[in-house]
Amino acid sequence: EDESKPYDPFGGLRAEPARYVLHDSYEFPHLDDARHNDNHRVPGYSVHEFYARAMFEAFAGLGVNIGDEKANDLR
Amino acid sequence: MAVSPIVAYPSDALHPQPTQHATGIPSPLKQLTSAQASSNGTPVPTAPVQQQQGSAPTSAPSLAAATLDLSEQLNEEEKRKYFKGKKLGEGTYANVYFGYVRSDPSQLVAIKKIKIQKEYTEGMAPDAVREIKHLQELKHPNIISLLSVFSSKDQNLNLVLEYLPLGDLEMLIRDDAGIRYGSADIKAWMGMLTRAVWFCHDNFVLHRDIKPNNLLIAGDGEVKLADFGLARSFSDPYIAMTSNVITRWYRPPELLFGARHYSGAVDVWSVGCVFAELVLRTPFLAGETEMQQISLICKAIGTPTDDNWPGVSKLPEYTVDKEVYPVRTRSSYMEMFPTIGSEGVDLLMKTLALDPKKRITARQMLEHEWWHREPRPTRKRDLPRKQGGEEKLAADLKRRPGVVDEENRGNKVARKLDFGGAL
C-alpha cells in the first residue's frame, strides 16, 4: 500500500483478455428466449455474463501446450 | 516421509471391503428449507478451549502402510503435513481446529473438519463440495485460501484454510462501545469486499451468502470473504437455480419473489446491505420473516412495481404491501447516510436498485468515483481491530455457524429501525 500512488480499487489485479474482445451482444438464436422471455429477463438473468464465460472458456489456455510444459518440468 | 519404501501389494484388492461411503451425492437442493444460510461454519478464532481433541493425529506413520493403496498413502502424507491442535469452534456441520504446518510451525492454519451429516450419509455434504470446488479455483488476497484437503479416519473431510485471527466484520460493527471507525475505514473495508465479489464474478462464481460474519479479518487487517457453502457457478440459460439462498436480511427482492434465473446482481444487493450496515452499525433490513423482509424493503427503498421494474408483478412469489411506497430519493438517503458523502450515497443507491438489471455490477462498483474522493481509504494496518474480544468470541461460537443470532438481535434491531416515521 504505497501512499504516494493513487488508490487502485482493483488492487492491481485487473486483467483484460489479450486474444479476444468481448462484444455487448452476439447473434445466437439459442439465447433469444433467455434475452426476451420474462422468466429470465425480469429477475435479471444476464446473457452478457454468459457471453463473457463462453468467450473466456473458448480462448482460455489456447497458448498452453501441456505436453511441452510437462516435459520442461521433468527436465 | 517416514513411510517404508517397501510397499506390499494390497492383499485384499480383489475383495474390497464394503465401506460406509457411497458414490451417490444427493441433490444439494433437496434439504434446503426456508431462510437457509450456508450450513457449514466459517473458521472463527477464539481463546483456547480447555478440551483437547482426542483424535489429534498422533503421528503414527507405521499405520500399516502395507494395507494402504496409493491414494490413501498420498492422503496420509498430506494429512501429516499439518499439526491439528485445539478445537476452536463447534457447529452442527463442522468443527474448526487450530493447526500449523509441521515443517514450519509459524505457518498457522485453521482445519475445518466437516461432520458426517444425518441428511447426507450417502455422500459428501453439499456445502463441503461447493466450498472445495470454488475455493480451489479462487486465489485472491480478499478471498480465504484453501491450502489443502485430506480425509481423516471415518472418511471425514478436512479442509485446511488460512488462519484469520482477528474475527469478522460483524464483531467490529456490533462492538459500538469498544470500536470506533470512520468513513475512511468503511471505504477501505468496502474496497476489500467489493474486490472479493468482483473476483468471484470475474471467475463466474456466485457467492450467495455475503454478510458481515462471513467477512473474516487477517492478522494484517485484510478482509477476506469466506464460507462458500452456498456458492455456485453462473448458471447457463434455461437451467433453473434455487431462490432459497442468501441470509434473509441480505437477500435481494428478486430472490424473495422466487426468481429462478438470476445473476451476479444478487450478491451486489448483499454488498449494498453490508455497506449500509457499516454506516448505521445495525443491520439495515432485518426482517424476521420473508414477508416482513419484503415490507422492510418497500419502506426503506421503495415498493417494487411494474413502473420501476417492468414485469416484476409476474414473478412467481410477487407480493407487496397494499400501501405503495415511492422509491426513496437521493436526499432521503443523504439524511440517513450523511457520513459517506454524496458519491458514497450514489454508490449505495446503485447497489440497492430494486430492478436487478439496473443494479450496478461489482466491476462498475470498482470503477465508481467514490474510491477516489476524500477521504482516502485507510491503510489496512491502520484499520481498527478488536481488542479483548475473547468473551464475544466465545459467545459467537455457541451459535450455529453460518446463521445470524436472530433471537437476540432481530428484536432489538426491529425496534431501532423504524422507517415509517423519521425518514
Q: Which residue of B has its CA nearest to A32?
A: B237
Tens of pLDDT along B328-376?
999 999 999 999 999 999 999 999 999 999 999 999 999 999 999 999 9
Instruction: Give pLDDT tens digits for B109-121.
Output: 999 998 877 777 7
B82 Cβ contact partners less than 8 Å away, ≥ 6 residues apart: B99, B100, B101, B102, B109, B111, B148, B160
Per the CB < 8 Å rule, is B265 touching A44? yes
Instruction: Note whether A51 contacts B: Cβ–Cβ < 8 A.
Output: no
Cα distance between residue B299 and residue B311, in whole Å = 20
Is A44 within 8 Å of B194 when comparing Cβ atoms?
no
* Closest in B238, B311, B371 to A9, CB measured: B371
User: Of A62-66, B137-141, B151-155, where does mean pLDDT reach its minimum?
Assistant: B151-155
Give B198→chain A minimum CA distance, Å. Answer: 9
Low-confidence ranges of chain A (pLDDT < 70): none
Q: What is the pLDDT of residue B323?
A: 94
Binding residues of B for ATP: 88-96, 112-113
Residue B421 at interface with chain A, using a CB cutoff of 8 Å: no
From the list B127, B185, B209, B267, the catalytic residue is B209
Give the distance from residue A67's alpha carbon to the nearest chain B alpha carbon, in angstroms: 22
A12: nearest CA partner in chain B:
B195
**pTM of the full predicted structure?**
0.80
Pairing of strands B223-225, B205-206: unpaired
Q: Is the confidence at residue B199, as pLDDT, over 90?
A: yes
Which among A42, A45, A50 has the least Cβ separation from residue B311? A42
Q: Does pLDDT of B402 surpass 50? A: no
Q: Is B209 a catalytic residue?
A: yes
Q: What is the pLDDT of residue B145?
A: 97
pLDDT of residue B101: 96
| Interaxial angle between packed helices B341-351 and B265-280, expressed in degrees from 0 to 180 and rounded to the nearest 10 | 140
A11 and B142: CB-CB below 8 Å? yes
> What gap in Å lies between CA B57 and CA B52, rounded to an integer?
12
What is residue B66's predicted lDDT score, i.e. its pLDDT?
Answer: 62
ipTM: 0.94
Q: Which residue matches cell numbers 498413502?
A: B73
Contact between B36 and B243 (Cβ < 8 Å):
no
Asked if B374 has any chain A CB less than 8 Å from its own CB, the reply is no
